[in-house]
Amino acid sequence: MLRPLFVLAFAALATANVNQCRSKLLKGCNCGKIYFESQTFFAVNCTNQAFRNTDMLQELPEETQMLIFTGNHVPVLEMNVFGEELDLSELKVVDMSNNGIREIKGKAFHHVPSVERLILNHNNISIANEDDGNFHHPRVFSNFYNLKELHLTNAFADNTDAALANDLHDIFVNSNLTKLYKLHLEQNEIKFFKDENVFCDLPDLHDIYLGDNSIPRLNFNLRCLNKLRYLDLENNNISKFSEADLSHFESLATPGRHFTLEIRGNPFRCDQAIRNLYNWLLTTRVEVRNKDHLECHQAKYGNKYILNLKNLAAAKHAKISQGITVLLIVLTIVLLTLLATYAYLKKDKVKGRFGPVVEALTRKVHYTTIDSQDV
């Protein structure tokens, strides 16, 4: 998992050699080697420098492996952010979080095909409306031939959920992200995906993070994601999973393939669907994280209740067990009563049939008593 960005930034500030930037435009940045995720990187850190354009990025040292360009004020990323003459074949990580980015021009990221991790978290990227094509650049990531991680947490403008969902599919289709391994889309107010195959053009996708959105149900195709190992759906608006949904999850966890699911924080209803989900949790091969903390919502007598799913199931089992015990006691009492009634009604017949036996037993007891006294 990626470390918090501010930790990375301060690590770079603390360890970088400021004399290695070799450019007046990079004044205020720190350039030098840092140790991160068990590796040594030559990093350029331009955090909180109040930059209003990206001109200085065209003078990066060519040995740069990590760029941290965060906390600035750059509303538009123009074409060829890194210029056309630099050889940045060593650049692996680009972090441009929290820059107020509203628009990314087509070909903005040309000439950096070696980048493996692109981070654009906490920006304000706009998505085109039908009557405004200025921001619609479906090939915006088309030059990231080796991109493995794309971080877009809270990256898009508010109230653009429908356009975002549609535009993402265009981006994935046109950008040829054949090596993308991990995709972060948390906190983007996503409500639905118009095209259920939105992720199907990412053949190497292993991890999808969709937490903290407003997704009401599983409305995208999982069957096409042959390598998916982790799906984060926590804190959405999912009230239930259908039996087909549970079947899709199950199909991703074969004996030779591990699959992990995160679904806590959703407003599941306390109904038949939640019982199906609970029974599925007891037998599935899928690793469901925090399953002991899953909750369902119930309205009763005008009040709303949130119930822990595990406790709810335990309480129901206890009620069933208690009911069975009470039923057995009642049936036993009824049976004994019937036997006693039968014996009373047939007392003469019973006495005639069992009288000699009782008399013989009584006589035997007397003899035994006498023998004992002799001894």
Pairing relationship of beta strands 287-289 and 303-308 according to DSSP bridges: unpaired
- Judge whether 215 and 237 are in contact, CB under 8 Å: yes
For residue 213, the model assigns a pLDDT of 94
Q: Band of the pLDDT at 15, cuts 50, 70, 90?
A: very low
pLDDT digits (tens, 9 = 90+) for 114-173: 999 999 999 998 865 444 444 556 778 888 899 999 999 999 887 666 667 777 888 888
- Judge whether 94 and 119 are in contact, CB under 8 Å: yes
Sign of CA dihedral 346, 348, 353, 355: positive
Q: Band of the pLDDT at 355, cuts 50, 70, 90?
A: low
For residue 333, the model assigns a pLDDT of 75
Q: Which residues pair with 119 in a beta bridge?
A: 95, 151
Query: How confident is the model over 182-195, as a mean pLDDT?
Result: 91
169 CB-near residues (< 8 Å, 6+ apart)? 193, 194, 195, 197, 198, 201
pLDDT digits (tens, 9 = 90+) for 211-244: 999 999 998 999 999 999 999 999 999 999 999 9
| 76/18 Cα distance (integer angstroms) | 27
For residue 192, the model assigns a pLDDT of 84
pLDDT of 374 over the 80 cut? no
The structural domains of the chain, with segments of one domain joined by +, span 5-305, 321-374
* Tokens standing for residue 102: 């509203």
In single-letter form, the type of residue at position 326 comes to V
Which CATH number, 3.40.50.1820, 3.80.10.10, 3.40.1310.30, 3.55.40.20, labels domain 5-305? 3.80.10.10
For residue 362, the model assigns a pLDDT of 61
Decide: helix, strand or coil at residue 44.
strand
Q: Count CA atoms closer than 13 A to 312's CA, side-chain side.
A: 21
**Higher model confidence: residue 166 or residue 42?**
42
Percent of the chain with pLDDT over 90: 51
